[in-house]
Amino acid sequence: MRIAYIGPKQREAALQAFVSPGVTVEARPHGKGPRSIESMWEEYLSVPGMMEAVVELEEEGFDAIIPGCFGDPGIDGARELVSIPVLGPGATAMAVASNIGHRFSIVTVLENVIRPLENLALVSGYAPKLASVRQIGIPVLELNDNPDFTFARLTDVSRDVVEHDRADVLILGCGTLSFRAAELQEAVGVPVLNPLQVTLRMAELLVGCGLSHSKLSHPTPPKLAAAVMN
């Protein structure tokens, strides 16, 4: 089984450690759009490159595709273009969190990401279980400048979320933050989801079961379908 991750190549080894034996993860940055995504503007800038990438990745023989942004930009459009599973880390992590607790919170990077993530929970159907979306106030490209400070902020905000927002499951709402999930879970004492890890495993599940998104809900665009027939 081959899973394509649309994101930084330097994450490939860490992602490979999350999957089952016999599954290969290949990171493929599409090289278009912003270096980091911290706004809806940047989400939209990233989408055209992703649309091109998913078609190429299916043609190369990949079994599933995972875009690296937690905000899930372009997922619906990508599903219209291919038949293999395309899974967004945001909605997938929310699905898992909803099944292992009564209420979950998302801890993310900046204030202006909060409302888009609340909207993602709403349109994905998980808003009734969303306790809160909180931010640690550190931009994506600065998260690894001082890892100890970042983790201290992450821990403080997460403990506050558990105590005051009554969340019993946490999701790290950023691809870069996601790799701190295991140590944060140990620090705060509730399940903490790494969205990239659970999305890789969900991709394994769907491919193993012979499942993908319904083409009734995500049909091939009529103009593209006509072009293929001609």
> Is residue 228 scored above 90 in pLDDT?
no
At residue 33 the predicted structure's pLDDT band, cuts being 50, 70 and 90, is confident
> Is residue 5 scored above 60 in pLDDT?
yes
C-alpha span between 144 and 122 (Å, rounded): 31
Q: What confidence score (pLDDT) does residue 230 get?
A: 52
Edge-to-edge strands of the sheet including 104-108?
A: 130-135, 104-108, 169-172, 192-193
- How does pLDDT run across 104-147, given as a tens digit for each residue? 999 999 999 999 999 999 999 999 999 999 999 999 999 999 99
Q: What confidence score (pLDDT) does residue 191 get?
A: 98
* Contact (Cβ atoms closer than 8 angstroms) between residue 170 and residue 193: yes
| Mean pLDDT value of segment 32-44 | 85
Alpha helices, H only, the chain: 12-16, 40-59, 75-81, 89-100, 114-124, 147-164, 181-188, 195-208, 222-229
Q: What confidence score (pLDDT) does residue 227 get?
A: 62
As a whole number, the mean pLDDT across the chain is: 94
68's tokens: 């690296």
Q: What confidence score (pLDDT) does residue 34 get?
A: 77
* Contact (Cβ atoms closer than 8 angstroms) between residue 94 and residue 124: yes
Q: What confidence score (pLDDT) does residue 170 get?
A: 98
CATH for 90-195?
3.40.50.12500
- How does pLDDT run across 143-170, given as a tens digit for each residue? 999 999 999 999 999 999 999 999 999 9
> Is residue 30 scored above 90 in pLDDT?
no
| Mean pLDDT value of segment 2-7 | 96
* 2-87+197-229 and 90-195, same CATH topology: yes
Q: Would you kindly state where each structural domain of the chain is located, as residue ranges?
A: 2-87+197-229, 90-195
Considering the segment(s) 2-87+197-229 as one domain, its CATH architecture is: 3-Layer(aba) Sandwich (3.40)
Sign of the CA dihedral with 167 first, then 123, 128, and 18 last: negative
Q: pTM for this one?
A: 0.93
